[in-house]
A and B are shown apart, each in its own frame.
Chain A
Amino acid sequence: MHVHFLDPYRPLTSPVHALDGRVKFILAVAFILTVSLTPFGAWPVYLLLWSIVLSAEILSGLGVGYVLRRAALALPFVLAAIPLAFTTPGTPWLEFPLGPWQLTLTLDGLLRFANVAVKSWLSVQAAIVLASSTEFRDLLLAMRAVRIPRLLVAMFGLMWRYLFVLVGEALRLMRARSARSGIAQRPAAAPRRRPGGSVAWRGKVAGGMAGNLFLRAVDRSDRIYVAMLSRGYDGEVRSFATQPVPPGARVTLWIGLALLGLLWLGGTLVWG
Chain B
Amino acid sequence: MHHSIEVKELTFSYPDGHPALRGVSFSIAAGEKVALVGPNGAGKSTLLLHLNGILRGQGSIAVCGQALTEATLSAIRSAVGMVFQDPDDQLFSLTVFDDVAFGPVYQGLPEAEVRGRVEQALAEVGMSDRAARVSHHLSGGEKKRIAIATVLSMQPEILALDEPTSGLDPRARRGLIRLLGELPMTMLVSTHDLRMVRELLPRTIVLDSGLIVADGPTTEVLNDPDLLQAHGLEMP
Contacts and interface: CB of A to CB of B under 8 A. Distances in A.
Interface of A: 2-4, 136-137, 140, 157-158, 160-162, 164-165, 220, 223-224, 226-234, 238-241
Interface stretch (B12-20, B91-99, B169-177): B91-99
Interface in B90-113: 90, 92-95, 98, 102-103, 105-107, 111
A232 B94 contact: no
Interface of B: 49, 52, 54, 74, 77-78, 80, 82, 84, 86, 88-90, 92-95, 98, 102-103, 105-107, 111, 114, 135-137, 150-151, 154
Contacts of B135: 161
Given A161-B92, A162-B92, A231-B102, 5 more contacts: A2-B137, A157-B93, A165-B136, A223-B89, A230-B54
A161 B77 contact: no
B106 A230 contact: no
Contact of A232 (B74, B111, B114): B74
B188 to A, nearest CB: 14
Contacts of A137: 94-95, 98
A159 to B, nearest CB: 11
Contact of B77 (A2, A223, A231): A231
Contacts of A226: 49, 54, 84, 89
Given A2-B137, A227-B84, A229-B54, A240 B92 contact: no
Contact of A228 (B74, B92, B107, B151): B92
B105 A238 contact: yes
Contacts of B86: 223
Contacts of B98: 137
A234 B205 CA distance: 32
Nearest to A234: B106
B89 A232 contact: no
B161 to A, nearest CB: 12
A208 B114 CA distance: 45
Contact of A224 (B78, B80, B92): B92
A2 B136 contact: yes
A230 B82 contact: yes
Given A233-B106, A241-B111, A165 B88 contact: yes
Contact of A220 (B78, B89, B150): B89
Nearest to B102: A231
A10 to B, nearest CB: 15
A239 B97 CA distance: 12
Nearest to A156: B94
